[in-house]
Amino acid sequence: MTEVKSNNGNKQRTIYICQGTGCVSGKAFEITEALKKAVAEQGLQGVNTDFTGCHGFCEQGPVAIVEPEGIFYACVTVADVPEIVDSHLRDGKPVERLFYKDPVSGEAIPHHKDIKFYNMQQRIILRNCGRLNPERIEDYMATGGYESLKKCLKEMTPEQVIEEVKRSGLRGRGGAGFPTGMKWEFLRNAVGEPKYMICNADEGDPGAFMDRSTMEGDPHTVLEGMIIAAYATGSSEGYIYIRAEYPLAVKRVRLAIQQSEEKGFLGDNIMDSDFSFQLHVKEGAGAFVCGEETALMASIEGKRGMPRSRPPFPATSGLWGKPSNINNVKSLATVPVIIARGADWYSSIGTEKSKGTCVFALTGKIANSGLIEVPMGIPLREIIYEIGGGIPGNKNFKAVQTGGPSGGCLPESYLDQSVDYESLAAAGSMMGSGGMVVLDEETCMIDIARYFLSFTQAESCGKCVPCRVGTKQMLDILERICRGEGRHEDIDLLQELGKQITAGSLCQLGQTAPNPVLTTLRYFRDEYEAHINENRCPALFCANLISFYILPDKCQGCGICLRNCPTEAIVGDKRMVHVINQEKCVKCGTCLEVCPERFSAVVKVSAEEVDVPSEPIPVTAEKPQTST
């Protein structure tokens, strides 16, 4: 039994429910209302119910934390509410069955500060996410919110603000890694009025939710950073370009703007200064290419989101032809902390060329998926095995893909690779906006390359030939290889196409689209050769290159596989060894999934024939030895 210290029922306590999108999909709104109702019905004095934004530990959502004890409840449901209220909030006895269970030791951990997923992070951008109500500006102000803006307006010139950001070493967190302070300086020195400050919140990478969660959990830190950036660059008007697919983030950003205007942090003569700044929200329609600066500005202008050639750069001719600056959500969220704690403090974190922290959406074949923030320079191994909890199901690690759909896939030999801009680029991948997908031994690397390339190919705006035509040619080749129809010249052709697309595409979508293919060719060439030369998928994934068979010496004729087969490809009566009709089998794997573990009669093998009966035979009959 885990020993937990808990306040008695007479002391003030608050139970906070995570209401980020992940937890909301798990009925966090309903859980919050049920808690409020149960607390009221019990007549509990000194017990409050509140909500926060995303805690980051999405794998364990919906999440609830009881303060001041710091008791962490995972995977909470509406049905758990009465026990939480009666046992913990009324009687002071925490509900142990809802504690987080360590995936390695199996230990129940009651306090969030003791969970490795949290205590190995260093949160700067996400410092307030999960710790305050994102819909109350007073909560943000209680943490020192808008004090950095006040400091800038009252004590610093725009040039001093820019110099502080430059000295901090902050680089663009949208993926490019360009020095933020230098970017601001370009706009400050640009000729022309008005000047526009734009926040790029168009987060379109598959599996990415860093910017969305920041805006949902701490929208005011993004606003404060943006207002400071506008002051430093001389911008009078700004836009937050955010996906309409993020309704909760849109709602909370709009509310934050309204509250900031009411408090005098936005609008005319901010904090009784000569500085005025108007801020608008522009909802994007969900085109991945609009994450590119010039395409994003075209979209704000009401045009189709398509990149244009540069120069001219946005700092001289951007939105409506006026000087403009675009920063990512995470870049802007960092600025108030740099101003508050100083450039020297921030630059002491990270590596020589990559300062501060980075935020990743950790997904894929990982025990602890979620949102994490770690110092630059941390090894991949520490992220995956310490914070991420390793690979579930006792499977082996195979690769990690960083940088979103245009990133690269790095093998096990790179697990001790430092996570920073330069190191990842040298390995053929990139930091990107913060996606990190972990892959295990059952992953076909050619199929992964095909998946990510299919995304970027579909999202290509089609303006330039290398991206529009070249990615389609590469995708056709990958699909052919996955079908078992690869040709000997395909590997060289993929490499050549990748180089030409990288060199000739107009924007970074096209320039980086070949990365998943080029890195899998670099590190997993043997898998390509197996598909092409041996008609074999080493990961036993590609449907055309695998078969399912029922082993006669293990089948007990229970009929479970037969009843669950969606194409009726399995035949056999009760107490008969079942047989799979290979012509009708669609390789869905259902038979393997449902076969009882004690029998393990179904096997998945490469497409070669297996010596099994062609017709059902009694399970009591003498069974032939199975061979492959």
The answer to whether position 237 is within a domain reads yes
β 64-67/13-18 pair status: antiparallel
Q: What is the DSSP string of 498-560?
A: HHHHHHH-SSHHHHHTTHHHHHHHHH-HHHHHHHHHSS--TTS--GGGEEEEE-TTT-----H
- Predicted confidence (pLDDT) at residue 10 exceeds the cutoff of 70: no
Alpha-carbon distance 603 to 121, whole Å? 42
Q: Are residues 511 and 475 in the same domain?
A: yes
Alpha-carbon distance 434 to 174, whole Å? 8
Q: What is the mean pLDDT of residues 56-73?
A: 95
Q: Are residues 89 and 217 in the same domain?
A: no
Output the pLDDT for position 622.
52
Q: Are residues 295 and 314 in the same domain?
A: yes
CATH number at residue 565: 3.30.70.20
Its domain, for residue 462, covers 445-533
4: pLDDT confidence band, cut at 50, 70 and 90?
low
- How far from the centroid of its chain's Cα atoms is residue 466's Cα? 28
- Predicted confidence (pLDDT) at residue 11 exceeds the cutoff of 80: no
Q: Are residues 173 and 309 in the same domain?
A: yes
pTM of the model: 0.92
- Predicted confidence (pLDDT) at residue 514 exceeds the cutoff of 70: yes
User: pLDDT, tens digit, for every residue of 452-498?
Assistant: 999 999 999 999 999 999 999 999 999 999 999 999 999 999 999 99
Q: Are residues 367 and 429 in the same domain?
A: yes
β 47-52/13-18 pair status: parallel
- How far from the centroid of its chain's Cα atoms is residue 183's Cα? 26
- Predicted confidence (pLDDT) at residue 394 exceeds the cutoff of 60: yes
Contact in structure between 282 and 300 (CB atoms under 8 Å): yes
Q: Are residues 266 and 386 in the same domain?
A: no
Q: Are residues 195 and 291 in the same domain?
A: yes
Among 56, 87, 116, the domain boundary falls at: 116
User: pLDDT, tens digit, for every residue of 552-600?
Assistant: 999 999 999 999 999 999 999 988 999 999 999 999 999 999 999 999 9
Q: What share of the chain is helix, strand, coil (3-state, %, to 5)?
A: 40, 15, 40
Output the pLDDT for position 2.
45
- Predicted confidence (pLDDT) at residue 9 exceeds the cutoff of 50: no
Place of tokens 């107490």: 575
Alpha-carbon distance 435 to 431, whole Å? 8
**CB count in 10 Å sphere of residue 95:** 19
- Predicted confidence (pLDDT) at residue 294 exceeds the cutoff of 90: yes
Cβ neighbours of residue 578 under 8 Å, at least 6 residues apart? 550, 555, 557, 559, 561, 562, 570, 571, 572, 616
Q: Are residues 198 and 295 in the same domain?
A: yes
CATH number at residue 498: 1.20.1440.230
Domain count along the chain: 5
Output the pLDDT for position 405.
87
Q: Are residues 436 and 450 in the same domain?
A: no
The answer to whether position 626 is within a domain reads no
Q: pLDDT over 90 for what percent of the chain?
A: 86
Contact in structure between 605 and 628 (CB atoms under 8 Å): yes
The answer to whether position 326 is within a domain reads yes
- Predicted confidence (pLDDT) at residue 620 exceeds the cutoff of 70: no
How high does pLDDT run on average in the chain? 93
Output the pLDDT for position 43.
93
Output the pLDDT for position 628.
45
- Predicted confidence (pLDDT) at residue 176 exceeds the cutoff of 90: no
